[in-house]
Structure 1
C-alpha cells in the first residue's frame, strides 16, 4: 500500500520541490531542497523527493556510474532487499541479468533467506546488499552466503550503518526490546552498530574488502548539490 501510495504522490511532490539548489544523480532532476530524514535527530536535505533516495543511495549510484562496468557490461546481478527506485531502474537495464531477493518484500523476484540463499555456488558477477546485515544476528553466516554465490573476480557493495569513530562493533543480543534497540543501536530492529572492524568480518569469510570514502572525491559544491555525506563509506567487496 505504501509503495503504491508513494508512486501516486511522487509526481506531485517532485513538482512542489522543483528548483535548482540540489540535483539527484539517480533521476537527474533538480530541486529547491531535499527533505529531512532520520531516526531521532533528523538530517537536513537528506531525502530526495523524486527517488526517495538518501545520501548513501546517491553516493552508490555515482560510484556505480563512474567507477564500475555496471551500466555497460553484461552482468548477472543479485540484489538483496532492493531499494524501490534501484529495483525499478535496474530491472530495465538490458545489460543486466537482474535478480532481486528478500525474505519478506512483496516486490522481489525470489523469496529468500540471506542465511540460506537458494542459488548455486558462484552464480553472480555483482551482489548488492545494503542495510541488511545489521538486522541479522549471525551476520558472518550471511556474509558467507554472499561470498558463496559470488563468482570469482566478482564484486559487490555491502553497506551497513557504521560509526566511523567506533573501532569495535557494538552488539548485545540480550537487548531485544524495540525501544532499547532504538536507544542502543539507532533503530528498533537493529542488533548492532558496526565499527571499523566490519571490514575484518568481511575479510574473515574470504572477501577482499575496501574502505571507500567515495563522496570525498567530489568538490564541496558537488557534495552539497548531490546531497552527499563525505563521511559515508561504501564497503566494496571482491572475490579473488
Structure 2
C-alpha cells in the first residue's frame, strides 16, 4: 500500500486524474471503477477538464459503479446511476451503454447482482477502481462487519451512514435502508485501487485502514491485502497516522520511473 500525503483536493485530483489518463493512454479500452460520494468529485472535474481541453478520450472505456440504493426508481435524482451521469459520464465521451450500475430497482435484486458480476468478468475486470472511505471505514456500502471475501450483494445501511447521506434526500426518513454494493472481494479483484480521503473527520478511518489490524470492523482495511493500492490523503486526513513522516519521505524519494 502506498500512502501519499498532499496539500489538498486540487493536488489529490491532479494525481488521481493523472493515473487515469496514463492508463487510458496505454490502454484506451480500459475498465474503470467509479465511486460516488464527495471524495472523487474533484477527480471527475479534473478528468472532464482534460477531456475538454486536451482531448482525453473515453470512447472505448467501460465503467462499473460501486453501489446503488435499493428501491429508488430509475431516474430518481439521488440514485447513484443518476449521480454518476451528472457528475462524470455525461461530461466526457464515454458510451452510456458501457456504463454499468448495480440495479437496485430490479424485480429480482440477487439475480441482478449476479448479472453485474458476470458483466464485470466479461469486460475483463476493473483496471482502476476509485474509492472514498466513510467515517466508519466503509468502502462502497460495505459496512463494518462485512465479509472480507464478499461479492456484489444487498446490504443494510447502519444509521450513521443514513444520517451522513440524509443531506442529499432532505430528511433521514427518505434515505433507503438497503443498498446493493460491490463486495470487498469484488473491489480486491481490481488491478489498481486508488482511495481518496480528505478532512479531519476521515483521520480515524484512514489510520485504521492503513495502520490498524485487518478487521471487518474497518472494511477498508482489506486493502492491506491488495498488491497495488494507493491511498491519497490531505494533511487533515493524515493527522492520526503514526508513520506519516515515513510516507512523506517515501513519496518524495520515489524513483522517477515508478508510476502511482
Report the structure, 1 or 2, having the larger strand content: 1
Report the structure, 1 or 2, having the larger helix content: 2
Q: Same fold (TM over 0.5)?
A: no
Question: Higher relative contact order at CA 8 Å, sep ≥6: structure 1 or structure 2?
Answer: 2
Give TM-score, length-normalised by structure 1: 0.40
